[in-house]
Structure 1
């Protein structure tokens, strides 16, 4: 059964058959991996299974099975197009896209723009001019990285670096898709706390922008622009002004690259958006935040001139906060800026610690239910520590709030990595970064307890962000001694 009961399928994956041919003989293809991983990650974000359909047979236009696909599309909520140069040379892929678009335009049951039902996964770079106008208007999820003129695909088979990049981008797709499906499910969505313009930026800060965007959406803000910006200057300006008119705050990430210059303009998209936001600052109640990495350096004279102007020109700093901080600091300060409070964080004294040290164990619900975490929990409690285990309940928001509050209050935290998958671990490490790094009082220890089942990935796992404790056999307190030693070094 589909998550959205008015449809047979929640998602239809459209792709060129050859894009699923494996790089290494005998392995699964890229699209097969994407389908499987998306199904798993989407269920985690959604809190329920979604029904994803993909043709797993190479079909021809005269194949009898083709009729089934044509009839499937009108009964599908979302189309994911895995695009590549091959996609646009496939008559069948274009037929799927056109058929979905036609049926979606005729569907009056969903009160959302048709283009919001299109998700574009860019497997390899494709020039905008060969994409149909409707697809050009959809923001893509890029599963590749450009280095000069060479594109490197995020492919699990190309090594650990590319597997992690693949996992991050897949998580973006799954999260956005879960939010969209939930918005259509009849569950009343809370009104946004406000609307923030998060300026498009250069490729060196693309990942940082996506991280800030996800954080803002988590907090309950609407984020604009919500569609790709025009490439010609006049339409670009109109589009940015229109989006800014709906916002009370704009955020601009300034990096080492100058970036693309829209047609007919002499300034980059970064500089133009900053100027248009400065123009908007003349309106009462609007404010602008400019953020730069602490170690920002550039070899581009144009970008250096822009940085100097933003940092030193008094006119450029009117109703503007210029921050040269960690990205986590920007995310922590945005809410204060949005509510027109001072952006300088107050000096807060760490709370006086009373009672036993608190250890927060984060574990997958399956590991908790099977009793796999109990020996660890009991051992730490018998050592004199207060032990809190993560919970999973029907109220996703309440569960999330409890999880974040435990991270804020604990003296140390352990991720119990047992039967859960790699994406689950990645999400919990992201919580470490978001919550623990923003604390006034530093956490005494952050640890990943790697338990059975033993896998190659678990044996190879490396990180500098947490202490690793591996124990694939029966529980023994000896394995925890490095963690306990960190707790014994607590400040008096």
Structure 2
């Protein structure tokens, strides 16, 4: 985000922070003071909220001022040039003459401004209360304003500022950022209206001048050539200059080797591309004894500068005609792709086609670099204060960066993330106060996105920030299948030049298995459902998962309904839950407590047991029996109170999954009478508890059920459940052709063992849209993958393996034959019966 971006409001400064320096004290073990952490968090949240649109400009005084310091010109100027004043209200601020002068100057300037102090019922002066103070003691400028409390009471009745990085603090900062953006945008709208059309016309004329004078196409470095190609080079340079290219070097290069390399590297640093003309001879060497040729060295240096040099040879020239041998060997290595493969382009063409060839090469490079210098910084709100220093360094360096969005709605947030990932060449995942598990979930989501959307290769890094951690806390060796670089900066509070150098983009890569690593995990799960541990290989359901997140965000209760074998449980366990852990639903807490249960024959007790198990990490965890007694006496409050303690003390969100909800109806006794009435009452109570838990908006508590669609009619007998289902039900759809292809090819690509295109086409044709065949498809893919790994084949899995496992139709039966070979007859019959029970469905599904 370059520094020359305009402010959001149109004022020189968007925000002026007025505070008493006594309030900028160090917090616990933090190096920065409270006010500085507040400023860092606010600016970071605003940068994330505003995205790539504009740069927020905040003025705050970082000096340590004495009580008798005069109200100096720089602060007065900051006050008068700010669109908004945020006052950190405390007794120290009330007692400060200096802060009084700041408020008075802001009010006076607002009276002279065309933009009023109160705009659309919102004041441009925002009090932020650090302590609970009686409103009669507030400064008179706060009359009629409520402000934003950012304090919490302690047990003695006193109050104190919320601790930075606490979840409550994070949410208050976000609320303040939202209010601030609304005011700034209203100011900007009014300012544009007041300015009228004159300024817009001036701007249009300036743009027109730029457009008519801008004819610079790019900068090209033209390498050394042999004597035989000198005239060709002269003609080429003349033609390229006419087409708007700047040519380097502009003067003859020194021939002494060290001076020559220095001059060439300086040119390459300024160039957008490099062109190298090769002939039968390489030209004169630096030294007759060493036989090191300048034009060959220049190609290597251009590769190191990531310029992807274009190496041209005359059409009709064969490498057998080239000499000496060292020159011929170098060109053969380029031809075979063994010399830094893919970092150059080798072309044979007639001289008259050189200009068009360079135009095409330059256009391709330009297109591929649209994202290459851009960076996405992915961070948790707890790491905002530290990351701001990194962003300011990027500002100075002119690095174009994105920040992970902080949109409330998960669907919008993921759409913005997808847009950002598609436009950058590097992703930096921040691991500071954020837990390693959170970072890994973010990393997984991005890797799946890159593969599923077939995005361009990325340079992936994890930046370890303070506080200092154990090695296990930032050990990402489990991600050995990625070209992932971990940069450790956890022991220093200041950004070091060596760390910044490591963060620079070096190479782009897609997730791919390294040939020297240990044997990879089978990426296909076979007949069993996907679980959370398989989520990395769960492809083809991205849009469905986003829709689930949006429903859960809107209603806090979600019913996932589908036919038997439609993948309901897999969708939740391997799809939804990993994105919950990655922070795409709840904003503040980074951890999740996941409780799962099936209703069974005693649904209420199973619910209480699932919650009791989740509470075991509390210092005074209630027992199952205690919870049951409390539930009888206090109702759902007996469950909510300890859950509240869990979420607040351990900063976690809570997700309750009730799988196979239809068991509530399947286990109901068939006979009428008192037993039936009791069962209905138990079911009613169980449903009420679930809905009451989901309707606790002050807590990050979410409830999801999965149920077979043929039991929907049974829900109608429960009026409250029916109303909720009508709003929050999600019917699992069949996979589209594109989604089925992603489900088939994605796991293989991630494991580094791709599928042959012919096999993919065969699988899509034989399994067009049959949802029930998805487990069978996974089973066949599992068998093929095992076969290739066992035989150590260094090629994609193909149709040959598919036929050997029996295809979709016979893969199960062939596998069963293998398993039963050599078993006694009695065991064969038992195994056959069990297998039929596991793989067959009755009329009810």
Task: Give TM class, smaller chain.
Answer: 0.3 to 0.5
**Hey, which of these two has a bigger chunk of helix by percent?**
2
Under a length normalisation based on structure 1, what TM-score does the superposition of the two structures give?
Answer: 0.45
Under a length normalisation based on structure 2, what TM-score does the superposition of the two structures give?
Answer: 0.27
